[in-house]
Each structure stands twice: as structure tokens, then as C-alpha cells.
Amino acid sequence: MIRYDGPIIDTHHHIWQREDVPWLRDPPIKRHIGDFFGLRRDIPVEEWVHDVVPHGVVKSVHVTANWGPARALDETRWLQGIADKHGFPHGIVCQADLCDPDIDAQLKAQKQFPNLRGVRHQLHWDSAPLRQNVSRPDLCNTPEFRRGFALLEQHGLHFELQVFAAQAPYAVELIKAFPNVRFILLHSGMLTDRTLEAIEMWRAALTVLAAFPNVHVKISGLSMFNPHWRVRDFRQVIRDSIQIFGIGRTIYGSNFPLEKLHASYTDLITAYRTVLSEYPVDDQRRMLHDNAVGFYRV
């Protein structure tokens, strides 16, 4: 097949000033991504542009770098200022604690920024303590969360769904309850291990989530749990995600600069292009560009 070399929209990246991001300050906080010493510094938009523009990235979506719910509005304000000056990012996904009783006022304040598109409240939880971002695996089905989540439809915002495979049944209940909210599953459902059992559980999770037409999948963060990745590892995740969700609901994102711990942007996009070259050029363009235009309105 012919490799697509046209414009790309990267729908998952971060920039930051280290002083604003609690998990990057001293002393280092242990995280599931392992040693992230190389990221404990400022990541300005100029560095992002330098990394991605030579590879055809023409637009981007910034997903919150987690300044903390109390400073979520400050982060969006800062990002909008960066976008107004530099162009990037073209879309913004803000951080939100949907269990907060004051979430309606917070979302109204967020909506004043023209690049705002959606919300992320990270829900991932498993038995490993470093992978427990919330207090319980089924937080999405508590009355407190549901009350805040119901406001997304009112405000015209989508939800970035970040869960592990074992949490798929809980996510399904949430999706069933809100058929008019658009969801996008982050990092292809976060395949944590390469064992046959883990892969089969992950595939099963994607299959039950893909049954709902308002759910898309974002192929991003592929080296997050696989630092010694090979192209064939990417191929398996990308091809399975496309097979399950279909090319029309599959969207590219890098998760840069977190992926910078294990790969340059050149390495990353080359791997994606290599795998996707097995598909028709029009399908490659849809995943790398067109689907993002429709979903993120950029």
C-alpha cells in the first residue's frame, strides 16, 4: 500500500510549565510510567512545534496535564493564551472533578474559552497502587459522579474515557445512561501487559465499548506500558482497535511528551505510518486527520 504523507492532527499531547504541575515538582512522585526524570522540566509550545511540524502535524488537541481540579480553569486560560499567540493547540480538553458539587459553575467558566472541546476525569483503577487514579474502580457509577457527568450534555462537551480493560463493565453502564454524550476511549484502552490473557481481556473490553455508536477510540500512549516497544507491538494494537471500532471511529493521538521517555516523535510517527500503510490511503487520512476534524471540531 501507499503511505499517507498528508496533514496530521495530533489529538493528545501536553505542554506545561513545571511549576504549575504538582506531579512534576520535588520530591519526585512515583507514577505508573516509571522514571520520568526527563520530563521534570518546562515543556513549552515551541518545543512541541519543533518536534511535530516537520512530520506534517498541522493541528493539535491538548489534553490536560493535570494542574489539579482547583487550578483547572487556570490551565485552560493559560492554554488559550498560548493558542491565541502560536496557533497550537487548536482544541483543549480540560481537567474536571465531576464529583465536585460546584462542577456546573466550573464548566460554565471553562466554556468561555473558544478552544475548549471536552473534559477528562481520569477513572483508571486496578489492583496495582500506582495505577489507582481514583478511590474505586466503579466511581463513574456513583450518584456524585453521575450528577456532574449529566452536565456535559448540557454544555456540549465530550468525555475522554480513561479506564483499564477490567473496568469496561462499569464504563458500559455509564455509556448506556448517557447516549447523547460523545466518548473517546483514551490510549486504545490502555493495554498494560503483553500476555495472551491480558490481550484477550483488552480485546473483549474494546468490543463491548465499541457496541455503542457514541464511543470512539484514540490510538495514543502506545509505549506507556511498553517502554521497549517494537513496531509489531504497535501493529497489533492499531489493527485490533481499527478492526473493533472501524476506521471511522478511530483517531490518532501521540501522548507526547510522555512518549518522549521511550521514543522521539520521528520514531513514533514513523511506526504509525508504517502500520497504517497497510490500509488504503483514504483510510489512513481519516484516522490521522479527518476523523479528528469531525470529533474535535478543529
pLDDT of residue 32: 59
- Cis ω on the peptide bond leading into residue 257 (within 30° of 0)? yes
Percent of the chain predicted with pLDDT > 90: 84
Q: What's the pLDDT band for 39 if we cut at 50, 70, 90?
A: confident
Q: How confident is the model at residue 188 (pLDDT cuts 50, 70, 90)?
A: very high
In three-state secondary structure terms, 61 is strand
Q: What is the CATH number of the domain that holds 55?
A: 3.20.20.140
147-182: per-residue pLDDT in tens? 999 999 999 999 999 999 999 999 999 999 999 999
Residue 256 belongs to what domain range?
8-296
Could you tell me whether strands 116-120 and 250-252 are parallel, antiparallel, or unpaired per DSSP bridges?
unpaired
- What does the pLDDT look like over 4-24, one tens digit per residue? 999 999 999 999 999 999 888
Q: Which of 257, 264, 203 is nearest to 229 (CA)?
A: 264
Q: How many structural domains are present in the chain? A: 1
CA atoms of 196 and 14, how far apart (whole Å): 32
* pLDDT confidence band for 290 (50 / 70 / 90): very high
pLDDT band at residue 40 under the 50/70/90 scheme = confident
Judged against a pLDDT cut of 60, whether residue 25 lies above it is answered with: yes
Q: Is residue 203 part of a domain?
A: yes
2 part of a folded domain: no
Asked if the model's pLDDT at residue 218 lies above 90, the reply is yes
Which residues, in sequence order, are bridge partners of residue 94? 119
> Which among 271, 268, 276 has a CA at the least distance from the CA of 242?
276
182 belongs to a structural domain: yes
Residue 282: per-residue pLDDT: 97
Is 1 a member of any domain? no
The verdict on residue 103 lying in a domain is yes
Residues 6+ apart with CB under 8 A from 30: 130
What are the tens digits of pLDDT across the range 111-150? 999 999 999 999 998 877 777 778 899 999 999 999 999 9
Residues 6+ apart with CB under 8 A from 269: 8, 55, 254
50 falls within a domain: yes
Average pLDDT over residues 54-74: 97
Res 66 pLDDT > 80: yes
Mean pLDDT of all residues in 42-61: 97
* 70 pLDDT higher than 70: yes
Determine, yes or no, domain membership for 289.
yes
pLDDT-based confidence at 29, cuts 50/70/90? Answer: low
Lowest pLDDT segment from 72-81, 222-231, 233-242, 266-275: 222-231
Residue 3 lies in a domain: no
